[in-house]
Amino acid sequence: MLTAAPWSSTGCAPAEHLDGPIGSDGHAVAVDEPDDEEGEGPAAGEASFTTREITRDLAYPMRIVWGPDGHLWLTERTSKQVVRVRPQDGLRTPAVTVTEAFQSGGQDGVLGLALHPDLLQGKGRDYVYVSYTYDVDPGAAVDRRTKIRRYTYDPATETLGSPLDVIAGLPGSDDHNSARLLFGIDQKLYYTVGDQGNNQFGRKCLSIRAQELPTAADVAAQDWAKYAGKILRLNLDGSIPGDNPQIAGARSHVYSYGHRNPQGLTFGLGGMLYANEHGPKSDDELNVILPGKNYGWPHVAGYQDDQAYTYDNWSASSPDSCESLWWNDYTPPPSVPRQQESAFSHPDFEEPLLTFFTVPSGYNYFDPACGFLQYICWPTIAPSSLHYYPAGNGNPAEAGIPGWGNSLLMTTLKKGALYRVKLSTNGESVVGEPVVLFKTTNRYRDLAMSPDRRTLYVITDTAGNTSGPTGGATTALENPGAILEFKYTDSN
């Protein structure tokens, strides 16, 4: 069923949703950017797109990918389903319910999704990979872990069956699971594991393990507890690739470490791997991921600049025990040890390519406009996905959207927007300022593209907090649990 959005089919979102200048007819005016290296002219701005809500009221969609069957494949976190959606009319076909999945909190359930590139290619590898949290405590208590499972798709019944566990016993939490699953161009699985939300809120007395590395004994015992705050690289059968980096004397699934909450992961030109991750109050990061490198968390947020971040380790509180303390997001009690970023030193430390956003020390994080939802007004934007937008290589059929070639696209939860970051020709640096597009009163969770890369599909959270249409914070989402279509039209 096609549900019309308040702003659908007009080819123009209401002015209050747009960042750019508004023309006399109320439509946004494309903002010219400097020409890119290919001389394509100005990059297409949001005035060049029509918008449409394909469906809504999905059960917290987490991942959306374009399938070879012309359908959009999604995970729904709270229904525990993989669902296929026909983009023309929003028709939904559930492919499987992961009954073993456990979901009770705000960030657990059925999460990651990756399609094998041979899916529906007649090669006998109709495989779909899914990640989810499950409960290993047989009693009333809950003890989450995460599993990556492979299913086989049967096009006759349009269902996923023959479940086969790729890896089990990964860290699992109700917070900061990250859980982006990517099928690599090297036929490996890449998977992000967040810091589990430790050292904050209700988990303030659990230490962050992002700097802890598995030993050979851990690997032999298949003890994956130290995989929190890591990006993993796995063989398709779950084993450890022989060419994974040897870090601190042991080879494991760990590809990179020192991560907080990396929700975006994508391959760029020449196989370069990029990730983004949520910062604390400042310093969401965009990183180039290199094997064996240390991305600094929790000792460093963003650049190692001692600006507006210190590592306050609640679990090490003394003499007052952490359990006796009240959580405070701004000024911890004096018993909590505080470390400046400059106190950290590591030969494999990598700084980010870009931050969203770094603020000076002494920055006042309190904004009365956000009331009790202060975090919505913090400088971070909560990047929720990352997608490489390739250049067309001179082929007009692959030209995509003018000026967008060799960019990274990232969705954000706060401010409900798509950020487009132009890369340099070698992909190792950023060109100009990020461009903010398609801003609505929603939480954008992930993005898929049509094969011609001219139509973008964005999924939104079913509920939650985001930036209000005129600033401040709101819980009133415009398109809850929706797929929004942004279709490029070159008629402008």
Report whether 122 contacts 153 (CB < 8 A).
no
Binding Ca ion (rule: CB under 5 A), the pick from 19, 40, 305, 367 is 305
Candidates 32, 137, 243, 452: give the one binding Ca ion (CB under 5 A).
137
Query: Site for Ca ion (CB under 5 A): how many residues?
Result: 9
Q: What is the nearest approach in angstroms of Ca ion to the Cβ of residue 138?
A: 6
Least Å from the CB of residue 415 to Ca ion: 21
Residue located via tokens 């076909």: 93
**Of the two residues 296 and 392, which places its CB atom closer to Ca ion in the complex?**
296
Q: Identify the sign of the CA torsion 461, 464, 468, 472.
A: negative
Using the minimum distance from each CB to Ca ion, give the nearer residue, 302 or 427. 302
Q: Decide: 437 and 461 in contact? Cβ < 8 Å.
A: no
- By beta-carbon proximity to Ca ion, the closer residue of 102 and 486 is 102
Pair type for strands 230-234 and 159-171: unpaired
Q: SS3 for 201? A: helix
Q: Does 214 bind Ca ion (CB under 5 A)?
A: no
For residues 92 and 346, which CB has a smaller minimum distance to Ca ion in the complex?
Answer: 346
Distance (Å, rounded) from C-alpha 426 to C-alpha 405? 13
Strand 354-356 versus strand 284-289 pairing type: antiparallel
Structure tokens at 298: 């929790």
135 binds Ca ion (CB under 5 A): yes
Considering only 24-32, 131-139, 216-224, 373-381, which stretch makes contact with Ca ion by CB under 5 A?
A: 131-139
* Least distance to Ca ion, CB of residue 334, Å: 23
Q: Compute the distance between CA of residue 116 and CA of residue 434 in angstroms, rounded to an integer.
A: 32
Q: Residue 197, interface with Ca ion (CB under 5 A)? A: no
- For the question of residue 253 being annotated catalytic, the response is no
Judged by beta carbon, residue 27 or residue 281, the one nearer Ca ion is 281
H or E element in which residue 84 lies = strand 81-85
Q: Please state the length of the chain.
A: 492
C-beta closer to Ca ion: residue 296 or 434: 296
Least Å distance, CB 449 to Ca ion, is 27
| Nearest approach, Cβ of residue 447 and Ca ion (Å) | 23
Query: Angle CA(187)–CA(136)–CA(221) in degrees, nearest 5?
Result: 60
Find the residue with minimal CB distance to Ca ion. Answer: 137
Tell me which of 176, 278, 299, 387 is the catalytic residue.
176
Q: Which helix (H) or strand (E) holds 53?
A: strand 49-55
Q: What are phi and psi of 83, to 5 degrees?
A: -125, 140
- Binding to Ca ion, residues 308-337 (CB under 5 A): 309
Site for Ca ion in 265-304 (CB under 5 A): 295-296, 301-303
| Paired residues of 444 in beta bridges | 460
Q: What is the smallest separation between the CB atom of 184 and Ca ion, expressed in angstroms?
A: 22
Contacts of 328-333 spanning 24+ positions with Cβ under 8 A:
329/200, 329/281, 329/374, 330/365, 330/366
Chain contacts with Ca ion (rule: CB under 5 A): 135, 137, 295-296, 301-303, 305, 309
Query: Which residues are the active-site residues?
Result: 176
